[in-house]
Structure 1
């Protein structure tokens, strides 16, 4: 653990008023998602290395130190989101160490603002994972072999990710008993997600499809039947499979799901294939739903976006810009 890594609490064993039990420490530690902790560790390590190279203190860091470090990240042309994450990491580390109100980020944020403007003037845009639209989804499905466990799993991964508008963490967390078949389709129970930190859970209802290769019910049932045939009746839904096609213990991680989506996009030879990620499945669902004229409120609820989140609109606006374009139909 680095000096800058955010900690749930400090333990002073000799003072019963500040001590925490191992169970309490464990629950506090697990309250922070693993992805967040990994990002904190990476950013903290980079900041510590830079401070050591330049003879600067890390805790507490002066406003000038933070501003200089942010300028250094700008020199490396780091993405604004990456720099914002670095600033957040340093601020949290100071707060956890008892340095409330430090460091002063005003100069650092002004430098970041300049960096954003410089990048815009250079024609650089925020990189976004391209959406897996329906045509691309079908092309990716066509590269899979439904006669193999890997092909069936990949089909389930793609179809569920698209139809659920799922985050990769949600897909990785799915278990076999989270899926229930009904007359109208299937219901998928999501135990916890990014916007459900209290783990109240949410149900996603997916209707029957019309195409055998992309029907969520047919594809998911085929995969579950394969698991059953291999003696697997519970546990992770999306299983690890080795290069020889053998099912392995344990489920796929979010990173593995990401890499699999990219590999399938490359296999399908879609344009800009290496840019595709699992997030493209989450983006593709609302894009196609918007094309079909579904209300934004329905799309947001289905995708488990916060009611105040502007994210879902980012997927819908490209559709609206063409469908509701003021230049359409004026006689040009």
Structure 2
């Protein structure tokens, strides 16, 4: 007879025989999670994600309180009913119905909070079915940011809001921050969550090259880390010079560590960080002032547009797919997502039918094309 550890045996006649197995009982020590482990688990969640989870948890708590329901632990029925409610209202921030991604994030927030306090999370299958149905009913296209070209980037950095060489010390400070944000964002192809959590010591300059060290990112959850290098350009679009101005401006006010991006109020007070929403608003304000906020198809610029802008400009300039993949820190399995990030502003360039038109014109020049007479 062959015995398996799961308690199921098979005798010589190949008949299944179920036997009883003694299962040891857990003790209190088996169920204990040390405080240090809890802290490490909390720190493993990116700061921007934690902020969004806090927002959704607050929304859920207020809704449960107003409807006489318990938020922790939340029942599966409450989860489903709350998500159904979210599909019927509009976002205060956008004035539009919540997107599928936002609702999925809301569900993830509830599950995460339950797991953090070792409570069984509610079932999510029905809630996600409602979310899928909601997405189908919206029928809207995926909204993507517009992009800006290098020439339009030049218009941005020539704005007074990006000129650190001015007499007013507060405006010069803000301009140094803005210039640093715009030029590094365009050159590094970073994600918004990465920039707002980047520290000053993640940046360094050697041999006229600005290096940004990413301890971890969306495609590097194991935290192996990656470096992005931005060579000096010797002109107005130089990221190395922009970093030097900003670092010097901060040092002149006694700031030498902490977050690289900072909120600055009208009186010149420097705050510990700039939020993701703050970075998005700043990106919009600068492109609006430079006249490149809206493109020819009605798309508007957001902070994610920096990543697509840098990538699109590099592709237009002939950068190889492999070099682009490494610089954008896309995984080897996914490759470079041309369909998502390559947003050429000229709809004719690279259009497959443009080759057909060119061939017909070439043939017409040789007398072989059909002639159409109106």
Report the TM-score when normalising by structure 1: 0.78
**CA shift at 1:163, angstroms?**
0.4
Task: Indicate the residue corresponding to 1:219 in structure 2.
Answer: 242
Residue 285 of structure 1: how far off its partner (Å): 1.0
CA deviations 1:111-139 (Å, max 9, x no partner) are 3333222211xxx3232232343233222
Higher helix share: 1
Judged with a 3 Å threshold, the aligned counterparts in structure 2 of structure 1 residues 220 and 57 are, in CA distance, closer, same or farther, namely closer
Following superposition, the deviation at residue 261 of structure 1 comes to 1.8
Residue 68 to residue 150, structure 1, CA distance change in 2 (3 Å): closer
Checking the alignment, whether the CA contact within 8 Å between 1:287 and 1:315 is kept in structure 2 is no
Question: How far is 1:317 from its partner?
Answer: 4.3
Larger Rg: 2
Q: Output one character per residue of 1:261-305: Cα deviation in whole Å (capped at 9) or x when no partner.
A: 222123223343995332221221111112222223321210122
Give ranges in structure 2 of 5+ residues lacking alignment: 1-26, 90-96, 166-171, 361-374
Task: Name the structure 2 match of 1:116.
Answer: 135
Q: Does structure 2 conserve the Cα–Cα contact (< 8 Å) formed by 1:60 and 1:103? A: no
Map Cα deviations across residues 38-87 of structure 1 (whole Å, 9 max, x no partner): 2223223333444454555654523x544443332222232111122223
The yes-or-no answer on 1:61 pairing with 2:75 is yes
Selected match of 2:286 from 264, 287, 292: 264
Unpaired runs of 5+ in structure 1? 1-13
How far apart are residue 177 of structure 1 and its match?
Answer: 6.4
How far residue 33 of structure 1 moved from its aligned partner, in angstroms, is 2.0
Q: Aligned partners of 1:252 and 1:86: how far apart in 2?
A: 23
Q: Distance in 2 between matches of 1:26 and 1:134?
A: 44
Q: Structure 1 residues 310, 112: CA separation in 2 closer, same or farther (over 3 Å shift)? A: farther
2:180 to 150, 156, 162: 156
**Structure 1 residues 266 and 286: alpha-carbon distance in aligned structure 2, compared to 1, 3 A threshold:** same
3-state SS of paired residue (1:269) = coil
CA contact (8 A) 2:308 2:342 kept: no
Q: Secondary structure at the match of 2:144?
A: coil
- In the alignment, which residue of structure 2 is the partner of 1:281? 306
Partners of 2:278 and 2:336 in 1: how far apart? 24
SS of structure 2 residue aligned to 1:194: coil
1-structure distance, mates of 2:86, 2:79: 11
Secondary structure in structure 2 of the residue aligned to 1:87 = helix
1:194 to 208, 213, 218: 218
Whole-angstrom CA distance in 1 between matches of 2:50 and 2:275: 16
Distance change >3 Å, CA 160–CA 119, structure 1 → 2: same
Q: Match for residue 44 of structure 1?
A: 57
Report the equivalent of 1:313.
338
TM-score (norm 2): 0.70
- The aligned counterpart of 2:104 is 84
2:320 counterpart residue number: 295
Contact 2:183–2:239 (8 Å) recurs in 1: yes
Note if contact 1:188-1:203 (Cα within 8 Å) is conserved in structure 2: yes
Q: Which SS does the other structure have where 2:270 is aligned? A: strand
Separation (CA, whole Å) in 2 of partners of 1:40 and 1:230: 34
Match of 2:145 in 1: 129
Partner deviation per Cα, 1:124-169 (whole Å, 9 max, x = no partner): 3232232343233222212122312322221111101110111233
> Contact 2:80 / 2:124 at 8 angstroms: preserved in 1?
no
How many angstroms apart in 2 are the aligned matches of 1:92 and 1:152? 39
In 2, Cα distance between the equivalents of 1:60 and 1:235? Answer: 38
Q: Please give the per-residue CA displacement for 1:182-233, whole angstroms capped at 9, x wherever unaligned.
A: 15x33222233333334333211112325x2112223323333444555655
Question: Aligned to 2:284, what secondary structure does the other structure show?
Answer: helix
Separation of aligned partners in 2, 1:310 and 1:71: 37
Count of aligned pairs: 310
